[in-house]
Amino acid sequence: MSGTEYPPPGASGQEPPPPGWQPPPPTHPYPQPYLQQPYPQPAAGSPGLPPAYPPAYPPAYPPAYPPGMLGAAHKPGAIALRPLGLGDMYDAAFRIIRFNPRATVGAAVLVAAVSMLIPVLVTAVLTYSVNLTLDPGTDGFSSGEVAGLVGAGASFLVGALVQQLGLILVTGMVAHVTMAAAIGKKLSLSEAWAATAGKRLKLLGLVVLLGVMLVLLIALLALLWVVGIFAFDNAGLIALYFVVLSFASVAALWWFWIRIYYLPVPALMLEPVGVFGAIERGHALTRRAFWRVFGIAALTWFITGIAGSMLSTPISLVMNGLLDGGLDGRYAALTLVLVQAVTSVVSAAFVAPFTAAVTSLQYVDQRIRKEAFDVELMTRAGITAR
């Protein structure tokens, strides 16, 4: 007979068993939580089994991993594959920049430096060709000096425009860097640039379209302000109208920033959608999540603004010291442009990559919360069961 036999009480001179007595089950070598549910057992006294037959146990197996997991980490890369908090996003943003410096900071510095080289070179040529100066002297500025100042200012505006366009492309690259970092991969500068192939013109078109939409919104709000001036004769009603319109204008601009403007860039770069599809995706991902997305975006804008000011302040102090120290007026314009260019490059090196990384992380977070995107990222990382 298989199993363990238990002699009934009274077999060795003991007292007879009480009514309904059953032998205790044997001690199993595996802890009970590791065991599956016991198989159904025949009732005691069934044919072929003695009344004291102990319950049979199925084979015990090691504890299984959670469904779909094969023991892999929940954080294969820069972020934990779950809904992200503010601290998770900022930590991940710094990790992404730290472990992908060329594709983030390097790209931003390269774009800013090349862009700011335009006004520096133009101002240097004008300084030595038309005797460009910021000191009008007793006779005022000559026509050549005025033309030189206008040319220097225009070149700086052109450089700033080229820098903004370049940083838009950097934002698209950082979106790909962030997605790769989420699954534990690292992109070089050339790989990040290659990842944006086929989407660069669409990205520029998206930014232009969003800019036009923003201008139209501001024009509409301005029109409402003008209408208020002529619609009411009572000063109290005009004041009340302007107060209400002020709050409405701020709310409308905030709504446009988050619901329309904020997430289309990473959506365009990381999904097979066009310009209008990216805007629709950004609007859908921020639905019922306005205050969460707005809070993180506003805090990030505030932090980067302070950091940019702290980085540019020492350079501005040096410029003021040079001007107050008797710097030749002939080189004052060139020095001013050079200082502004250096300030712009230093600020872009921190602000652009960090802001782009946080925006891309918010895109990933919203997809995790709304579309179980973490499961797809686990599959991409190779840590889910096939």
301-337 confidence digits (pLDDT tens): 999 989 888 877 777 777 667 666 656 566 777 778 8
At 161 the three-state DSSP class reads: helix
Residue 332 is classified by DSSP as: H
Adjacent-strand bridge partners of 69: 384
Residue with tokens 């698209």: 172
- Distance of alpha carbon 96 from alpha carbon 109, whole angstroms: 16
- The answer to whether position 235 is within a domain reads yes
Residue 230 class from Cβ within 10 Å (0-12 exposed, 13-18 middle, 19+ buried)?
exposed
Q: What is the pLDDT of residue 328?
A: 59
| Number of structural domains the chain divides into | 1
- The answer to whether position 53 is within a domain reads no
Residue 188 is classified by DSSP as: -
Q: How would residue 385 be classed by pLDDT, with cut points 50, 70 and 90? A: very low
- Do the Cβ atoms of 282 and 301 come closer than 8 Å? no
| Global pTM value | 0.74
For residue 228, the one-letter residue type is G
- Distance of alpha carbon 186 from alpha carbon 101, whole angstroms: 10
Give the domain range for residue 113: 86-381
- The answer to whether position 16 is within a domain reads no
Across 30-34, 193-197, 208-212, least confident range: 30-34
Read off the pLDDT of each residue in 202-217 and give the average, rounded to a whole number: 95
Q: What is the mean pLDDT of the chain?
A: 80
Percentage of the chain lying above the pLDDT 70 cut: 73
Q: How would residue 25 be classed by pLDDT, with cut points 50, 70 and 90? A: low
At 370 the three-state DSSP class reads: helix
Q: Higher pLDDT residue, 259 or 18?
A: 259
- The answer to whether position 15 is within a domain reads no
- Distance of alpha carbon 270 from alpha carbon 278, whole angstroms: 10
Q: What is the pLDDT of residue 162?
A: 92
- Distance of alpha carbon 349 from alpha carbon 115, whole angstroms: 13
- The answer to whether position 43 is within a domain reads no
- Distance of alpha carbon 4 from alpha carbon 312, whole angstroms: 83
- The answer to whether position 348 is within a domain reads yes
